[in-house]
A and B are shown apart, each in its own frame.
Chain A
Amino acid sequence: MAQRTPLYDVHVKAGARIVEFAGWDMPVQYTGILDEHEAVRTRAGLFDVSHMGEVVFRGPKALASLQRLFTNDLAKCADGQAMYGCLCRDTGGIVDDVVVYRRSATDLLVCVNAANRQKDFDWLHGHAGGADVQNESDAWAQLALQGPAAAAVVQKLTAVRLGSVGTYRFTTGDVAGVPCIVARTGYTGEDGFELFCPPGRAPALWGALLEAGAAARVIPAGLGARDSLRLEMAYRLYGSDMDDDTTPLEAGLGWVVKLDKGDFVGREALARQKEAGVPRKLVGFTLTDPGIPRHGYRVLRDGQPVGVVTSGTRSPSLEIAVGLAYVPAPLAAEGSTFAVEIRGRAAAARVVKTPFYSKPKPASPGAAP
């Protein structure tokens, strides 16, 4: 049977549609994906992301050990700062993409994908290099309040001065009387917070956040909106856009691979691949023909399969079809064209810059209408 978060009953009572995701019974939507998507882009939406896992490195060797397992450079991550990066195998293949929360050099929390809880723990524990590594996944619930109204809503419930918590920074403090890690992180492209709290307190915190956000029309949001929001930002999803057989360089995550930081697992393979050039690359594309690209659809060039779509949807904010696909390196440049095979039909596609979505800029004063 699928696992349930401490908020499962709350979701069911709220009328959520429950689906199984990564071995978890999770809310995919409450009122509707488009509704919830729009709420996050314009106001705020509240997500239960308690299915995510937490692995903690402690002790004098914590920083050095994790640094050897992480592609990004934790020496450049201050205490109280979060950093995104990959865990790689010797081959350069991605074990998982994770966010490391550096509480101190002797205490670092690794937030891992739900499907990879056990795999990551086994991998990290097996390569711990003398650090104390604990799987604390069952000891944490995680709520994400995301959207332009998020900070004002959370601020109503806490004495923590959120103005001093910058993007990808975190602190600890009570929110609605619940002890939390208060992190300015997320997976939507909006400002917002991820609150890590004790599982037993999650329903109280959930209720308090919705109540504090009621006037701002904050609503609960499910995995459906989470997926369309992240895809508009071209954020990768492990298991769909990458796996053990893809490298961060192929996945377009070269910016979190710091080959000059010193040795780490996978470094040699990644350095070799960088030198030789990647054979394929994950690109963002839009369709110029009707249709919606979906995971697994084939990429065609001159009628021949040359790649595969890994994520696709109709972007609710942009109202166009967008997707991510692996294509041969020569087709990866912006403006390159190929076709996506949709039910036997070749739909024209073009490589575009990502993120697909960027926040509308406020009109400058005095600008011509």
Chain B
Amino acid sequence: MNFPEDLQYTREHEWCRVKGGRAVVGITDHAQDALGDVVYLELPKVGDVLKKGETFGVVESTKAVSDLFAPVSGKVVEVNDPLVDAPETVNEDPYEEGWMIQVEMSDPKELKELLDPAAYRKFLEEEAE
């Protein structure tokens, strides 16, 4: 399973890529694999204000429904709307084409609470036990 070095991760299996004051957010390779074929997505609108840890959308596979949790607080400034019509992209390319939202961070200090790839891997191992 692939966990790129330049990303930070949540215990709810979102990833976060920091670009200046913005965070690009998606779900991890582990999350897409555990869900199975993603067939439906609900994403927020540009302008919505998110609070770290709160749900910002829903991802559904054939069998399962899963909430999406905001890794950081801030305002949604971009949404990957084409994803809604091609949800399989989340399975095929979770870290690039499968990105979900971009957030203008209101409190970048929150990033410190996220996991680096090694810590996320360790968390997954512990979770599997």
**A 217-229 to B, binary, CB cutoff 8 A, 1 in contact else 0:** 0000000100110
| Chain B minimum-CB-distance residue to A223 | B63
Instruction: Out of B36, B42, B58, B62, name the residue touching A313 (CB < 8 Å).
Output: B62
| Chain A minimum-CB-distance residue to B60 | A292
Whether a CB of chain A sits under 8 angstroms from the CB of B124 is: no
Cβ-defined contact, B37 with A32, below 8 A: yes
Instruction: Out of A32, A227, A290, A294, name the residue touching B36 (CB < 8 Å).
Output: A32
**B 61-83 to A, binary, CB cutoff 8 A, 1 in contact else 0:** 11101000000000000000000
Whether a CB of chain B sits under 8 angstroms from the CB of A139 is: no
Whether a CB of chain A sits under 8 angstroms from the CB of B120 is: no
Residues of A contacting B36 in the complex (Cβ-Cβ under 8 angstroms) = 17, 29, 32-33, 224
Total A-B pairs in contact (CB under 8 Å)?
34
Cα–Cα, bound, A216→B38 (Å): 27
Q: Nearest-CB distance from B83 to chain A (Å)?
A: 13
Cβ-defined contact, B65 with A33, below 8 A: no
Whether a CB of chain A sits under 8 angstroms from the CB of B3 is: no
Q: Nearest-CB distance from B90 to chain A (Å)?
A: 13
- Scan residues 24-61 of chain A and give those whose CB is less than 8 A from a CB of chain B: 28-29, 32-35
Residues of A contacting B39 in the complex (Cβ-Cβ under 8 angstroms) = 34, 292, 314
Cα–Cα, bound, A294→B61 (Å): 12
Given A32-B36, A314-B39; A224-B58 close (CB under 8 Å): no
Cα–Cα, bound, A151→B37 (Å): 29
Residues of A contacting B60 in the complex (Cβ-Cβ under 8 angstroms) = 292, 314
3 smallest CB-CB distances across A and B, nearest first, come from A33-B62, A34-B37, A314-B39
**A 236-251 to B, binary, CB cutoff 8 A, 1 in contact else 0:** 0000000000000000
Q: Nearest-CB distance from B44 to chain A (Å)?
A: 13
Residues of B contacting A290 in the complex (Cβ-Cβ under 8 angstroms) = 40, 42
Residues of B contacting A224 in the complex (Cβ-Cβ under 8 angstroms) = 36, 62-63
Residues of B contacting A343 in the complex (Cβ-Cβ under 8 angstroms) = 58
Residues of A contacting B63 in the complex (Cβ-Cβ under 8 angstroms) = 28, 33, 224, 227
Q: Nearest-CB distance from A297 to chain B (Å)?
A: 10
| Chain B minimum-CB-distance residue to A37 | B62
Chain B interface size, as a band, is 10 to 19
- The chain B residues found within 8 Å of chain A, CB to CB, are 36-37, 39-40, 42, 58, 60-63, 65
Chain A interface size, as a band, is 10 to 19
Given A29-B36, A224-B36; A294-B62 close (CB under 8 Å): no
Whether a CB of chain B sits under 8 angstroms from the CB of A284 is: no
Whether a CB of chain B sits under 8 angstroms from the CB of A186 is: no
Residues of B contacting A316 in the complex (Cβ-Cβ under 8 angstroms) = 62
**A 299-317 to B, binary, CB cutoff 8 A, 1 in contact else 0:** 0000000000000011010
| Chain B minimum-CB-distance residue to A319 | B39
Residues of A contacting B40 in the complex (Cβ-Cβ under 8 angstroms) = 290-292, 314
Cβ-defined contact, A33 with B37, below 8 A: yes
Q: Nearest-CB distance from A296 to chain B (Å)?
A: 11
Given A291-B40, A314-B39; A34-B65 close (CB under 8 Å): no
Residues of A contacting B61 in the complex (Cβ-Cβ under 8 angstroms) = 33
Cα–Cα, bound, A343→B60 (Å): 13
Cα–Cα, bound, A33→B35 (Å): 11
Residues of B contacting A292 in the complex (Cβ-Cβ under 8 angstroms) = 39-40, 60, 65
Cα–Cα, bound, A29→B65 (Å): 17
Cα–Cα, bound, A107→B58 (Å): 52
| Chain B minimum-CB-distance residue to A294 | B65
| Most chain A CB neighbours (cut-off 10 Å) among B37, B58, B61 | B37
**A 199-238 to B, binary, CB cutoff 8 A, 1 in contact else 0:** 0000000000000000000000000100110000000000
Residues of A contacting B58 in the complex (Cβ-Cβ under 8 angstroms) = 343
- Given contacts A32-B36, A33-B36, list 8 more A-B pairs with CB under 8 A: A17-B36, A29-B36, A34-B39, A224-B36, A224-B62, A290-B42, A292-B60, A313-B62
Residues of B contacting A33 in the complex (Cβ-Cβ under 8 angstroms) = 36-37, 61-63
Residues of B contacting A29 in the complex (Cβ-Cβ under 8 angstroms) = 36
Cα–Cα, bound, A343→B59 (Å): 13
Cα–Cα, bound, A87→B37 (Å): 36
Q: List 5 A-B contacts (CB under 8 A).
A: A33-B61, A33-B63, A290-B42, A292-B40, A343-B58
